[in-house]
Amino acid sequence: MMKVAGGTFVPLEERDLPALQGFKNGEIYPVEIKRMRNPAFHRKVFAFFNFCFEHWSADKTEWKYFDERKQFDTFRKHLTVLAGYKDVTYTIDGRLRVEAQSLSYGNMDQDEFEQCYSALINAALKDVFGNTTDENVINRLYAFF
């Protein structure tokens, strides 16, 4: 649906018009309206994760024998937790368990995702780029702001 002048919502595509024909004018229907996530912004966030991961250099850690995809996924989750987007639970034996909150389209709306991105930048500045003096890296980093 798309909002048009006068506050009316209309189908985004003509092919969706027949689905609305069964609804009567003047009747009340409960609806749930969600803002769509911006896919270009989603790609930007993951480009930022990739840039951070490249700088972090996982080959200098005990993770160097993991495959690259696993290294990236683990890094991304750790940075998300450092940014404060985490779910805290307990294991069956009572130990604390911290997991990264899902950044998927279905779990986070656009406004929250933008706030998360800001927190990710702050966490990366502190924990990934804290001692960086390389001007090229700093300039590439500023491109994400």
Predicted model pTM: 0.71
In a domain, 71, yes or no: yes
Structural domains in the chain (count) = 1
Which is nearest to 48 in space by CA: 123, 134, 135? 123
Instruction: Determine the structural domain holding residue 76 and report its residue range.
Output: 39-142
Cα–Cα dist 81/86, whole Å: 5
In a domain, 5, yes or no: no
Q: What is the pLDDT of residues 28-76, one digit of tens each?
A: 999 887 767 888 898 999 999 999 998 887 556 666 677 778 888 889 9
Q: What is the pLDDT of residues 84-123, one digit of tens each?
A: 999 999 999 999 999 999 998 878 888 899 999 999 999 9
In a domain, 99, yes or no: yes
In a domain, 123, yes or no: yes
Q: Give yes or no for a contact between 62 and 75, defined as CB atoms under 8 angstroms apart.
A: no
In a domain, 46, yes or no: yes
